[in-house]
Structure 1
Amino acid sequence: MTTSVQSHENLPYPVLVADIGGTNARFGILTDAHAELKEFQTAKTADYAGLEEAAEAMVLSRTATTPRSAVLAVAGPISGDEVPLTNCHWVIRPHALMQALQLDEVVLVNDFEAQSLALPSLRDDDLELIGDVEMASTGTKVVVGPGTGLGAAGMIHTGALWVPVPGEGGHIDLGPVTEDEFALWPHFEKEHGRISAEALLCGRGLVRLYKGVASWRNRPVTFDGPSEITSAALAGSDETAKESLDIFCRLLGRVAGNLAIAFMATGGVYLAGGISKKIAGFLAESDFRAAFIAKAPHEELMNTMATAVITHEKPALLGLAAFARTPQLFGVDLNGRRWHNGE
């Protein structure tokens, strides 16, 4: 059973933190509030039956430190005592996890909620700006990340408190706006009967986008994977790949702008995930920023909002560690998301 305590109640140290996505699980241990986060090797989720096995192999077998609690970021909605991941076969069962790892407490947060928890801690050298507007230290912030899926979250700044707003923003609808997009859209294979933002703005989405462009332009399909398409586009060696990545960046800018204007993100919009980092230079030269700003009649407002790629290697772990150190700085509602052993 879960408790109804709020985020200001401290977790017992040492704290195991983990960022569990569709493809990778990243781990760290925080021994106390003043310690540096000790990081461990990343696990491939496909290589393990579940979190317990991965944590044992990647963390517990490699350190003498025994965690007493865990704060886990999971890629999927959190409801009840069984939490399936959206793009992974793992199911997180907090009671079983506490028993297997001998933990006193477990806290679950959304994966992009963890990303948002990191935003106030990011320094200039953790970011690569897109455009010439500097990031503000205050104001509501938004994080968007194309990876295995498309994640999004907000971080509202109210007084001295940062309040993360998790969600499944990657599943909003995405439709054509420009003339070339209206010609292209009929060539996309639908997902669940529609085209969502995630259907085009993630790894498999880039493949769908590339195949759609190839069909539209009546060109052969040369590549099967997102890394091949991205590499060819960055090298300028394949016309279809480059055009696909151009459109990918434009659509990502549009979605980021939609979230920014919905949240009134005067604190800036941050792009997370491996894809964003890999194409950061391409993004800066693309139509991303123009599409982000194109929210008539509010272009002037949008142009005041900064956009940047997060270049920090493990921002979600940074966010989880920040929360574990000083939970009183974050307005995280843990109703239904914090479990105590024996309850």
Structure 2
Amino acid sequence: MPPTLRSLLAAMALAGLLAACRPVTPVDDAQADTDLSRPALAVQALTRHMRSGDFAAFARDAVPPALHGRVDRAWREGRTRWPLDELPFADRLPEVMSALAAPDAATALVAGFDRQFASAPREIRAAAATLGMFGVQYVEHQGDFSEGERDHYAQLVTAAAQWAAQAPLADRALAHAAIPRLAAAARAAGPATAEGIADAGMEASLRRIGAFSLEARSVLAGYGLDLDAAFDSAQASLQVQQGDRASVRLRYELAGSPVDTVLDMERIDGRWYLSDYLRHAREAAGDDAGRPTPADAPEPAAPPPQGPVAAP
């Protein structure tokens, strides 16, 4: 599959994975305070971060603070790239960015496109169909996905493949404009190598990758994939809440394809989080089998000393 197609689909998946609970418009700093006090509000907060390209804030609000700290340590040690690992595709965005940011990448990729894929819509459509077929089979039968993730990701992959099969991905003029833009955005974002990401840490790296995603989203719009329209079409309703567990039905339209799924959520210390993200983040941090640990909550204050205390 050509690097351009991989880049476009990976960026689309990352931006569209969490569509909004309801239509969301950009917010200013005074309105940007996170409210995780209810299931729908928590999903809306994560969606605002995704829409604005603030992946660092997304990671911060997707898990409790103590778990965030453990994931950050795992990130610096090179053991995880969560939350980028939430992508339902094997290709990881940092590797795509590294390829785009390589010296003379734009020239080489444009030449490669012209040599292999320019004016070759049949090959591109065949690649899209193959991606859809094997992608759906993978998320339905393989991988470490919950039942909810399998349902959601299968719909997402299908929608992406249907878009790619109709999109003008073989258009030479579009590719010649898109590839230099993506390459420039990748260079501006800074090093996306394994060493560079580890040295920068999770928060700084996610900020840079988020900035790249905004340019990728703009490029996608030129290919007919309007992610803002997907965000604006999204609706959610609380299905059931029992104590610290809840489920939310999420519906939106991606590239003309309806997506309808249910998100499981849980409450920790008065805040709501997506259960699948909690599980993956715990696994990323090295927690046993993704199970919650007491460290997910703030440590209690030390008890006062008992018995007589010696005078200094």
Q: TM-score range by the shorter chain?
A: under 0.3
The structure whose residues are more often strand, as a share, is 1
Higher helix share: 2
